[in-house]
Structure 1
Amino acid sequence: MSSTGSSLPRLRQSELTFGLLMMFLSVFLSPIVDIFSKLAATTIPPAEVTAARFIFQWLFALPMLALRGQWGRWSLRRSGVHAIRAGVLTLSMVSFVTTLQVMEVADAIAIFFVEPIMLTILSSIFLKETIGWRRYTACAVGFFGAMLIIQPSFEQVGFVALLPVVTALCVAVYVMITRVVSHSEDAWPMQFQTGLWGMAICLILLAIGHGSGSPIIASVIPDGTAMAYLLGVGVTAAASGILTVHAYRAAPASTLAPLQYFEIVSATIFGWLVFHNFPDLIKWAGIFIIMASGLYILWRERRFASRPVSDTSETTFAP
């Protein structure tokens, strides 16, 4: 009896350690998706880069559905909801890749991390979650940090510097819808439908943009180098997503969420190694303010809420 009781805590501790390891690997790998996206976007339009990401997500979800015996569990009845989710996600990805064409990876990712702040506000409005003045204050502080990064970038690249905010808003809406749907659907069927609808939306956009000369949606035939970059986008995005799924299955979301901010650090490292870009002091101040406000919000959610607003049962799509 005592051996059973003592083995259970060890098992839970091993699961927690495994979950933390999976999340660490995921956030370490995630900026590589953006590095490949930035490299691909020099010759490939953002809609086509986004399509490659969705195609690989869909291809990776297919065998997982078969292995888990969930092939017939994805619901046509909810296809409309999943199409909306995929549409919002497509807009977020296209906006972010468009940003990466002219902006440093670390800066764009740092601005994107106002997403938990936006999710907090949207959840209080639409999901009627109780949010106190402390978290609202943290949201305001986080937006101030984002402005410290946006302001010099805005002077350099114009309104494109605001696109990571659009990405953050779209992902917040996506996560909020996912939270509602995830109560009755499993993660892998949801990923399958998201990939399927996202792929379809991107292909429609590329068909509309074909021959238009649009730098965002005009389809092009990639050369060998660009194809390698697209392959890198798809494989690393799929791998990061799978690692995140395993992380959330092994450990609570409230425990894993703070690790997501390590993505800013890894993005800075990879951005410096590949593009020789490094944030200046003002941008670092903005990064630390965003991280501090986001971590405070997570701490308040963990302390006072049974389920944080950032908690979903499906992989969230960091850009």
Structure 2
Amino acid sequence: MSDKSRGYIYALLAVCIFAAQDGITKYLGDRYPPLFITLIRFWAFAAFVLIFAASSKGGLRGAAKTRHPFLQSIRGVLLVTEIVLVVFAYRYAGLAMSQAIFQAAPLFVTILSVPLLGEVVGWRRATAVVAGLLGVLIIINPVEAHFGVAMVLPLAAAMIFAIYSIATRAVSHKDTAVTSLLYTGIAGAVAISLIGPFYWVEVAAADWLVLAALCMCGTLSHYFLILAYGYLPAAQIQPVTYLQLVLNVIIAVVGFNEVITGNMIVGSIIVVAAGLFTVWRESRLAKAAKH
């Protein structure tokens, strides 16, 4: 089997597990406080990154060395905040609607890369971004739907994840991926531990198994994604990740009786197409810059 094939298999496994993780998150988010769920999830994630960093080249001490301690820590806080918003979004906006809107995150990355990283966005990517944002409006359907907090939640989560991605891009020039993963897990766990315990509730015996499954999914999904990045560049992995939207829609309809409307389908197609184009265009420009 070629390295490229291995990369796609690992990416596919990661996406499938991420989708299962979203379904479990939706189930738990409807029953328990989102901050409590995120607390348990990040404690497990922190344990995973500690073990992963300790087993990496240079060990835990080597992984902890960073040129950007503040920015790395902020990344962890941003990610845990995004996850809390996602859990709230799944509860109030629904799994399918939230995931459809969240696909706009790559477009927000393109927008924010201009003021935050000083990148230049040409007319092609700018057009794709505008089209993608129009797709988000089609998904939300503000003419017929009441634009309330439920719709703001996934939009806010997508925006915060975009800022997290920008910060990740900024630190990647000096720090290794293992270092970034370590600080994300530890800083996020510390941040949620300052608030999460106040929302601790009694959990049904059967739901502890569901929580364990959530933690397992969170660990395996990140592990397989790391393996995928070891064989494939980000531009080739990104298209595979959009399969998660399809899987989440299936889970939402079958598992939670959510209704998928025509505007959600049309808007999602536009957003995904715009996101794929921006990723493809950025990879082309990166290759051209190297030559």
Q: Is the 8 A contact 2:26 2:91 kept in 1?
A: yes
Number of positions where the alignment pairs a residue of Structure 1 with one of Structure 2: 287
Q: 1:79: Cα distance to partner?
A: 3.6
Cα deviation, 1:256-312, whole Å, max 9, x if unaligned, reads 11111111111112222311324111110111111111111122222223399xxxx
In the alignment, is the contact (CA less than 8 A) between 1:119 and 1:173 conserved in 2? yes
Conserved? CA contact 1:146–1:286, under 8 Å: yes
Mapping of 1:113-192 within 5 angstroms? 113-151=103-141, 155=145, 158-192=148-182
Is the aligned partner of 1:194 residue 2:184? yes
Compare 126-135 and 59-68 and name the one that shifted more.
59-68
Does the 8 Å contact 1:51/1:198 carry over to 2?
no
Unaligned stretches of 5+ in structure 2?
none
Residue aligned with 1:130, SS: coil
**Cα deviation, residue 224, structure 1:** 1.7
In structure 2, relative to structure 1, the CA distance for the partners of 1:148 and 1:225 (3 Å cut) is: farther
Distance 1:158 1:230 in 2: 30
1:238 alignment partner, one of 181, 203, 219: 219
Identity among equivalent pairs (%): 28
Q: Distance in 1 between matches of 2:84 and 2:205?
A: 22
Q: CA offsets, 1:184-205, max 9 Å, x none?
A: 2222232222111111111111
* Aligned match of 1:29: 17
1:91 to 71, 78, 81: 81
- Report Cα offsets for 1:126-160 as digits up to 9, x if no partner: 21222111211111111111112223699368222
Secondary structure of the 1:183 match is: coil
With over 3 angstroms needed to count, the CA separation of the structure-2 counterparts of 1:264 and 1:71, relative to structure 1, is same
Q: Describe the shift of the 1:186–1:276 C-alpha distance in structure 2 as closer, same or farther (beyond 3 A).
A: same
Q: Name the SS of the counterpart of 2:82 in structure 1.
A: helix
Distance 2:104 2:76 in 1: 21
Q: Deviations over 1:167-218 (max 9, x none)?
A: 11111111111112122222223222211111111111135xx3xxxxxxx3
In the alignment, is the contact (CA less than 8 A) between 2:67 and 2:174 conserved in 1? no
CA distance in 1 between partners of 2:146 and 2:210 (Å)? 26
8 A Cα contact 1:102 1:157, kept in partner: no
TM score, norm. by length of structure 1? 0.84
Q: CA RMSD in A?
A: 2.2
Question: Could you say which residue in structure 2 is the equivalent of 1:71?
Answer: 60
Q: Give the TM-score of the pair, scaled to structure 2.
A: 0.91
Decide whether aligned partners of structure 1 residues 134 and 195 sit closer, same or farther in structure 2, where only a CA change above 3 A counts: same
Alpha-carbon distance in 1 for matches of 2:232, 2:171? 21
What's the counterpart of residue 38 of structure 1? 26
Give the gaps of 5 or more residues in structure 1.
1-12, 211-217, 309-319
